[in-house]
């Protein structure tokens, strides 16, 4: 019996092969996580034909679903483990959290925009290890802290202090920091003596709005 492969599966494999060639994907565990989650289920119906293009797409309310290369890059930087408890700032449509959930024990994801919070809740309803919170991401979510890893999917003017406080010693955070349009992607490790930071220039995320971020 000949097994039929769907067009979306072919498109997804082509995308992941490209991300691997370009070194955005470096480990088998991140590739497997991206294979397990159908990006087409997280984009608008009118954009489904673009789901496996390496590009950000609008999800409404002036927000976007990140380009797949950025998702891969951030997940590789975090070096996620099955025992990790992860905090995500900026749920959007839920795609980033869905992929991350394949590699960790628990995800808490925060979305400030009510429409997108409800969209993420709907899209993530079948994911047992994800909790979606409607709130100010710049404050973090102290109830589930400390976190082994923190993933920020919106650009902040500076690293919010509550996020550092809620990251356990030895934990990692990836966060875009800079202006409202362009930022650097910081990888921050919290140590017993403070924090260490590495920087990757030239990223672009929607701005973080909140108490410890940009004003609306």
Positions marked active-site? 66
- C-alpha 137 chain-centroid distance: 13
CA distance 45 to 145: 36
| H-run or E-run covering 31 | helix 28-36
**Cα–Cα distance, 178 to 157 (Å, whole number):** 5
Q: How far apart are CA 204 and CA 209, in angstroms?
A: 15
Report the distance separating Cα 210 and Cα 216, nearest Å: 8
Cβ–Cβ < 8 Å for 59, 119 = yes
């Amino acid at each position: 019996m000949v097994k039929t492969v769907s067009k979306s599966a072919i498109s997804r494999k082509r995308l992941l092969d490209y991300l691997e060639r370009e070194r955005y994907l470096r480990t088998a565990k991140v590739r497997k996580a991206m294979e397990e989650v159908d990006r087409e289920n997280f984009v608008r119906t009118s954009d489904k034909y673009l789901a496996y293009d390496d590009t950000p797409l609008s999800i409404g309310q002036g927000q976007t679903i990140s380009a797949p290369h950025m998702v891969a890059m951030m997940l590789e930087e975090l070096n996620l483990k099955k025992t990790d408890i992860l905090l995500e700032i900026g749920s959007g449509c839920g795609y980033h959290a869905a992929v991350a959930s394949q590699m960790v024990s628990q995800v808490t994801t925060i979305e400030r925009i009510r429409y997108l919070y409800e969209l993420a809740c709907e899209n993530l309803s079948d994911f047992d290890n994800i909790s979606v919170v409607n709130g100010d991401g710049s404050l973090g979510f102290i109830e589930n802290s400390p976190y082994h890893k923190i993933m920020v999917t919106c650009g902040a003017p500076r690293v919010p202090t509550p996020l550092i406080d809620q990251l356990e010693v030895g934990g990692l955070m990836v966060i875009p920091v800079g202006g409202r349009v362009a930022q650097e992607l910081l990888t921050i490790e919290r140590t017993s003596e403070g924090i260490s930071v590495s920087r990757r220039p030239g990223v672009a995320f929607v701005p973080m709005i909140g108490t410890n971020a940009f004003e609306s």
